[in-house]
């Protein structure tokens, strides 16, 4: 079990004692994922939030018409879940899948709630995490509404080069909200 990356992730924002660190790790479950493995299925129950130790995951929504929209990617040191389903216990809107062989640490909803009671300091940690996630989504939403596809593509490539190089163009297109064909055109004439 490798909790080093997670503990370092936490220590960016708060300080835990050795005992608290130990306690935190007992709440986690390590999972090894093969390429293509499904972590959460759309329509299912989302009962955990995941920290990525290694590899890359994608969270996407599949519409009734069969169109995929990528909500987020997560690589090492990122947290990922369907936060709406995790919080409300409603059916998940998103599927979360490993794009490559990956390793994650899962924190169940029950353990998440317990953990915050046992180590109240972690409220601060997750407050900062949620605040940063909110900021990211707000800025992305603004870009999506105010910019043409070409600029959205340029911004994505500049902001997340390490993620982009692991992705197919089809996956990038589904994150930008355009078709792979149109992304191909954008790339050709730039």
Chain residues binding DNA by CB under 7 A are 67, 148-150, 168-170, 177-185, 187-188
Interaction partner, residue 29 (a copy of itself, DNA, none; CB < 5-8 Å by kind): none
Contact 9, 74 (CB under 8 A): no
Site for a copy of itself in 127-166 (CB under 8 A): 127, 130-135, 137-142, 144-146
Taking the C-alpha atoms of residue 159 and residue 182, their distance in angstroms, rounded to an integer, is 21
69 binds a copy of itself (CB under 8 A): yes
Contact 67, 30 (CB under 8 A): no
CB of residue 172 to DNA, shortest distance in Å: 8
H helix or E strand, kind and range, residue 33: strand 28-33
Judged by beta carbon, residue 8 or residue 88, the one nearer a copy of itself is 88
Torsion, CA 147, CA 152, CA 155, CA 160, rounded to 10: 140
43 binds a copy of itself (CB under 8 A): no
H helix or E strand, kind and range, residue 54: strand 48-54
52 binds a copy of itself (CB under 8 A): no
78 binds a copy of itself (CB under 8 A): no
Contact 41, 136 (CB under 8 A): no
CB of residue 38 to a copy of itself, shortest distance in Å: 19
CB of residue 69 to a copy of itself, shortest distance in Å: 4
- Compute how many residues bind a copy of itself; rule: CB under 8 A: 32
- Tell me whether residue 163 is exposed, middle or buried, using C-beta atoms within 10 angstroms of its C-beta: 0 to 12, 13 to 18, 19 or more: buried
Judged by beta carbon, residue 2 or residue 11, the one nearer a copy of itself is 11
Interaction partner, residue 135 (a copy of itself, DNA, none; CB < 5-8 Å by kind): a copy of itself
């Amino acid at each position: 079990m490798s909790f080093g990356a997670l503990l370092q992730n936490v220590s960016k924002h708060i300080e835990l004692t050795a005992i608290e660190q130990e306690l935190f790790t007992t709440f986690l479950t390590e999972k090894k994922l093969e390429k293509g493995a499904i972590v959460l299925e759309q329509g299912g129950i989302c009962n955990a939030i995941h920290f990525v130790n290694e590899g890359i995951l994608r969270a996407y929504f599949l519409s009734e018409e069969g169109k995929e929209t990528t909500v987020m990617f997560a690589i090492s040191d990122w947290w990922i879940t369907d936060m709406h389903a995790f919080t409300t216990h409603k059916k998940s809107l998103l599927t979360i899948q490993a794009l490559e062989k990956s390793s994650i640490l899962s924190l169940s909803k029950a353990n998440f709630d317990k953990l915050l009671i046992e180590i109240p300091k972690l409220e601060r940690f997750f407050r900062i995490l949620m605040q940063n996630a909110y900021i990211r989504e707000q800025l992305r939403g603004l870009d999506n509404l105010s910019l043409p596809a070409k600029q959205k593509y340029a911004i994505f490539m500049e902001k997340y080069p390490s993620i982009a190089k692991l992705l197919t163009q089809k996956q990038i297109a589904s994150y930008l909200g355009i078709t792979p064909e149109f992304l191909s055109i954008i790339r050709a004439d730039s």
